[in-house]
Amino acid sequence: MTFRLYPNKQILWSLRYHRKLHKDLYNCAVYNRFTQYQKFNRSVSYFEQQNSLPAFKEVWTEYKEINSQALQATLKRVDFAFERWFKGLGKRPRFKSIRHYSGWTYPAKSGYSVESNGENGYLNLSKIGRIQMRGKAKYWGITTTCTIVYHNGKWYASITVDVLDQVLQTEILPTGAIGIDLGCKSALSITDGENHQQIQAPKFLRNAEQLIKKASKNKRRKQAPNRKKKIKASRRYKKAQSKVSKITRKVANQRQNWVHQVAADIVSGNSFVATENLQVIKMTSKAKKGKRKKQKAGLNKSILDVGFGMLRSTIKYKVEQIGGVFVEVPTKKVKPSQTCPKCGHQHKKTLDIRVHNCAVCGYSQDRDIAAAQVMLYWAKGTLPESGTGFAVAESPSSTTSTSKCKQADRCGN
């Protein structure tokens, strides 16, 4: 849960100072790893760096003031960056300027304390002071970690809490069992077999792509900074930039709120949830040509798809947290959207067919609800076996792909 911090002038100075020290430590650790490798052909591990912290503090005495677990967490960030690089997931770690250094983390319970019941309150940071914070947490419990973040001229505290004990104490395991189909037409199609419900992604989230695109386009028209040519960003560029990040931040917040609300609603009545193993491709809309395609795919991924991914993992987390069962249905094997929930007959449907009409038993249902039913029944072991086997619909491949494209495009909007 993220709270906005309202530091006074003196504390603001102190926060900046701490951020700078963490940034310098980060750069030192990166430098240490590179030079050791270049000069002596040896790689430095996280533990080696952690163990040299006391000696480091003897030389750079200003670090004695800083919480040692927070220093370790900064070294851990370096370790993560290198690990990602080695695995080919990230770029070569770089030295960070203060502008691109976000903050630091208290990975356990020392170095800070929180005075809050989940809504507003105060954050005490050792050697820094007491800071007013505003924000509201959906769930609250014992604080476990605290990360101080500086972003766009504002300070935040991202606090994680352990709610496990409270949930187990106050709630009896809900008895509901449901299947969920995550898709683009309706964000969620939920069924318990008899009763169905479809939930849409909030309009703001659906329109977010357009809003961000518009704001970014506006930004591109302004004078961008270029270090090599020594061009500074124009005032209008900065203004446009802050508009883009404002929308992005708003989208991220809304997405998180929505995800938590939906997941909480689901878990409040159900402890058995069956859903598909996520296929991102199903939800990503496709742009048609070259460069834009990649851009658009990236953008979509960051909004709705991330939402779906988060939704799924949040539901999983919450269900398992209360001691329920979360079943991942192997979609490739079960084929939920192509199977009749009543008789198990399989018949291939193209994406533009929105209603399931069974040719064998005559069962008719919304496509996504039917898919959710199939997943629920499969997870429970009550899905009827089909004797007829898998029938492939005959449709020329060209028409199939265009209809898919159209469908996907509509979903993105």
In whole angstroms, how close is the CB of 328 to Zn ion at the nearest point?
25
Q: Which of 192, 369, 330 is nearest to 270 (CA)?
A: 192
Q: How far is the CB of 341 from Zn ion (least distance, A)?
A: 8
306 vs 360, beta carbon nearer Zn ion: 360
Pairwise CA distance, residues 136 & 84, whole Å: 33
Beta bridge partners of 133: 5, 121
Nearer to Zn ion by Cβ, of 174 and 193: the residue is 193
Write down the least CB distance from residue 384 to Zn ion, Å. 8
- Judged by CB under 5 A, the chain residues 322 through 361 that form the site for Zn ion are 340, 342-343, 345, 358, 360-361
Compare residues 159 and 340 and give the one whose CB is closer to Zn ion: 340
| 28-57 positions binding Zn ion, by CB under 5 A | none
Of residues 259 through 288, those in contact with Zn ion by CB under 5 A are: none
Least Cα distance to 2 among 298, 312, 276, 249 occurs for 249
Within 10 A of 27 (CB to CB), how many other CB atoms are there?
Answer: 17
Cβ(224)–Cβ(237) below 8 Å = yes
Whichever of 364 and 395 has its CB closer to Zn ion, that residue is 364
Find out whether 245 and 145 touch, Cβ atoms under 8 Å: no
**Residue 374 binds Zn ion (CB under 5 A):** no
| CB-neighbour burial class of residue 256 (10 A; exposed 0-12, middle 13-18, buried 19+) | middle
Q: Of 274 and 358, which has the nearer Cβ to Zn ion? A: 358
Least distance from Zn ion to the Cβ atom of residue 400, Å: 23
Phi-psi region of 139 (alpha: psi -120 to 50; beta: other; left: phi over 0): beta
Task: Give rounded-to-5 percent helix, strand, coil for the chain.
Answer: 50, 20, 30
Binding mask 290-329 for Zn ion (x = CB under 5 A): ----------------------------------------
Q: Which residues pair with 391 in a beta bridge?
A: 347
Q: How far is the CB of 164 from Zn ion (least distance, A)?
A: 42
The CA R_g of the chain, rounded to the nearest whole Å, is: 26
| Residue with Cβ nearer Zn ion (77 or 345) | 345
CB of 72 to Zn ion, least distance (A): 59
Amino acid at residue number 333: K
387-to-343, 347, 360, 393 alpha-carbon distances in Å: 9, 12, 11, 17
Tell me how far, at minimum, the Cβ of 395 lies from Zn ion, in Å. 21
Q: Token pair for residue 381?
A: 């072991």
Contact region with Zn ion (CB under 5 A), list: 227-235, 259-267, 270-278, 362-370:
362-370
CB atoms within 10 A of CB 63: 18
What is the C-alpha separation between 131 and 127, in angstroms, rounded?
Answer: 12
Q: Which is nearer to Zn ion, 59 or 392 (CB)?
A: 392
Closer to Zn ion by Cβ: residue 56 or 363: 363
Binding mask 68-97 for Zn ion (x = CB under 5 A): ------------------------------
Q: Least separation, in Å, of the C-beta of 339 and Zn ion?
A: 9
Considering CB under 5 A, how many residues would be counted as binding Zn ion?
8
The site for Zn ion (CB under 5 A) is made up of 340, 342-343, 345, 358, 360-361, 363
